Structures are given as C-alpha cells and as structure tokens.
Amino acid sequence: MIGDLGAQDATELAAWVASGEVSPSELLDAALAAVEARNPALNAVVLIQEDVARRAIAEGLPAGPFRGVPFLLKDLGAEARDFPSHNGSRLFANTRYSLDSAIYTRMRATGLVTFGRTTSPEGGIGGATEAAVYGGPTRNPWNLDHTSGGSSGGAGAAVAAGIVAFAHGSDGGGSVRIPASSCGLFGFKPTRARLPDGPYAGEGWAGMAIDGFLTRSVRDTARMLDACEGADLGAPYAAPPLARGHADAISRPPRRLRVGICDTTFTADPIDPDVAEAVRATGRLLESLGHHVAPALPKADFKGMMRAWTDIVAVGSALSIRSALKGRTLDDTLVEGVSRGACAYAETLHPTRYLQAVGEIHAFGRDMAAAFDGHFDILLSATLAEPPAKVGRFSHKTTDYVDFRIGPNGIFAYSPFCAIFNASGQPAASLPLGWSSTGLPIGVHLAAPFGQDEELISLCSELEQAQPWRARRAPMAQGQ
C-alpha cells in the first residue's frame, strides 16, 4: 500500500492512519525514502529535520484531520522554532526563530508530521525556483528540463513527484498557482487576510501575499484552509467571514454561475495555442454542467497594477535585505542579481512612491470588483500564458529587476493573470485541466469576487469530479 504513496491525497493517507492500516512512522519512512530516491534529480526538499518529526510522533500527534501525514514547509515564511530556514537566500541562511508563526501553529494542530522545507527563489520574487543557496535549480518532475515554477517551486515539485501528498506554499503574485499549473496540481489563493500573517508580519507585500497549499485534491486544500483560516491576534484586518467553511462548501455543487471566459491575456494579447485550447475546453465543460459561459475581457489598468506591484515588492525586498546585511557589503556572495537590482531600483523611488503604489493597488481592486459586478460570477482564464518554461529562462543572475518583472520577456509576460488577483485581493485557483502537446501540465485559472472563497472552491470541486486529474501523475511519482 505505502509503495504507491504518490497515488493518494492527504485525506486518504490520514484515513489509513486512523484505521490502523499504516502508522505515522511508516508514512514518514516512505516520504524520506522518496526524498532519497527522487530529490537528487529535483533539488526540491531541503533542511530535513527527521529527528523533529520522529519526536513529534513519539510525543503524540494532535487528533486533527491530517494526523500522521508527512508534510513540508516552504523555505520562505512559515516561521517555526524547530525548522530553521534559508528563506531562499545565502544572506538569510540558517535563520532560527524564537516563536512559531500562527500559520505553522494551526497547520501543526491538524496532526501532520512536518519533516523539512522546500526550495524557494530568493525573496520569493520569481516564477521559477533557482536559488543559489540550494546549489542549483529546482526541476519539474514531468520533465527535468523545465521549471517547477515559483516561488513555491520546491513544494510543487515535491508533491508532483510523490514525495508528499501536500505541502505548504505562499502566494504574493501567483507563487502557489504558478507551481500548481507547472506541476499538474491544485493551487488555491484565498481572499486577502483569510489566513494569518503574525507574529512576524502584519501583512505581506501590502496585503498581496498570503499562505496556501499545493495539493492533489480540492478536498485537501479545503480542509487545510478550514484548519488555518481566521485572523491571528493583532492582525490589522480580516477577510469577510465564511458562511459554512470550505469543506462544507465542497460537499454540494455550487449554484449555476455566470462564467466570463478569456482565452487571451486580459489585455487581449494572444497566449500559447495549447493553453488557449485548455481554457476553451474548460469553458465547454462548464457549459455541459449547466453554467452560463460567455466571452469576457475585464476593464482595469493592468499595466499600472503591474508597475505598482513591482515597486511595492522592490521596496519590501530592499527593506528586508538592508536590515539583514548589518553593515556587510551588498554583493553577489550574499545576494543574487535580481535582489540586488531590486535594492538599487528601490533607492531611485521617491519616498512617497510606496504609499502611492499601495493606493494604486487599492484602486485597481475596486476596478476589478466593478468588472465582476453585474457581469459574471467567475472569471475563467489560463494560469500561465504558456506551458512551464525551461530551466534557466528566469535565472536571478540579471540585475535588471524591472525588466525581469515587467519587461517584454519577463515574469509578468509569462504569468499575466495571477498577480492581478493578489492585487485585488480576490480568491483565485489553478486547476490541472490541460496538457501541452509535449505532455506538460497546463493550469486553468478561476477567480471569484472578494470574499467568495466558498463558492469558488465548490466550483473547483465540481470540475474535479467532472474531469478527475489525480490518476494522471508524473512518471517519477510512479517510480519510473
């Protein structure tokens, strides 16, 4: 049974533990064996703390929904006393924490067995994961020449490779949804402030960043969201309250919805033909389920939003890096090119630019709310404009931070959909419903109005039942 660990989702593994068919120790053994066998080719799992995991099992795991299931934290955020972190950077290597973050405390209470971390690009500002601190790129289990995405690229690779059934991630510009699309997984970005940020931060990137999970099933995400949702003590703001919870929402189909479909970018530029067809095929599937599907092109200042996002993240990156340097020289022995470029660019901005950019992001959110209001309930698009990129295409060696983000061949051209909903704060999800002509995963993206997480995840579950995806796995996950 354990030999085919990659075929199960976390809910099923927890059921095995609850029934006594397997023990938490046996599942951990299987996960560690999978790391040993598959991680050398992937470079996805780092900072393994097997002794911490063994001790947690020996002391008795909480009786939560994922009791005994192996789990990995993203190596960016999710601060935990027992799990040191590099945070994707040589500058922050081997950082230790005196307190557990609220999100980790809530995840741990589900009974999972955390045993390590997964790779992330420096600063979390890339659509690929190739950080120098890990000694090389993280690769895609479907094809090792391609990226697993970013910034939760290690999490996506580890789940797609069958090392773990699910893993922690975070999403400030698509960093859960991009790896989900790249690795054939489900990735859900909740409404702004649905999950806690404290005590190490009040908000991430002016509220645009939020934690999340890379999963094989909608139900795993739903249950983890329910376990973790809600503001922590002292949070500056909170998301609108849920009506029933995510797990209850997926227990029944949603109402028949008005779906706006866009098979181009939101600025009407063409996208890869395989990707566009995956969007149209999903539209046809939704129509067959009784939803009303019609063309849509939301009206908002997308280029202005991308510039504001770029400026906010540059200032945030510079603040983090400058604080950590503690008098040391900012050079390539500690900080990669894109991050050094972000620091240099931030210094060119007027002192008032940060608040101006935050204001522009908030105005954009109002424009996106108006675009939905009275027109459609769900917006369907691609997650990425093309299939997963080749390794090296989004290397952090360049110091031209602005071009890396918003240049003609930059991250926003590759991923023109995801960050829009970080800026607007709306819930959004990537579903593995398409495949390229070369056999690479293609994610299809759904977004809903602010606060409508339950309706969105219910629709995701309906699509999963109509077109199941779990049986299609990377060869590596099947031991090939």
The DSSP element (H or E) to which 179 belongs, if any, is helix 177-183
Q: Report how far residue 286's alpha carbon sits from residue 266's, in angstroms, rounded to the nearest whole number.
A: 20
Tokens for 102? 């609220």
- What Rg, from alpha-carbon coordinates, does the chain have? 20
Taking 3-state DSSP, the helix, strand and coil percentages for the chain, each rounded to the nearest 5, stand at 40, 15, 45
Q: What type of residue sits at position 332?
A: D
Which of the residues 85, 101, 175, 317 is marked catalytic?
Answer: 175
Q: What value, to the nearest 5°, has the Cα angle with vertex 414 and ends 412 and 419?
A: 40
Please report the DSSP string for 302-352 in residue order: HHHHHHHHHHHHHHHHHHHHHHHHTT---STTTS-HHHHHHHHHHHHS-TT
Nearest CA-CA partner of 221 in 189, 192, 251, 194 = 189
Which of the residues 85, 101, 148, 151 is marked catalytic?
Answer: 151
The DSSP element (H or E) to which 465 belongs, if any, is helix 453-466
Q: Is 151 a catalytic residue?
A: yes
Which of the residues 74, 415, 436, 458 is marked catalytic?
Answer: 74
Q: Report how far residue 81's alpha carbon sits from residue 168's, in angstroms, rounded to the nearest whole number.
A: 16
Q: Is 175 a catalytic residue?
A: yes
Catalytic residues: 74, 151, 175
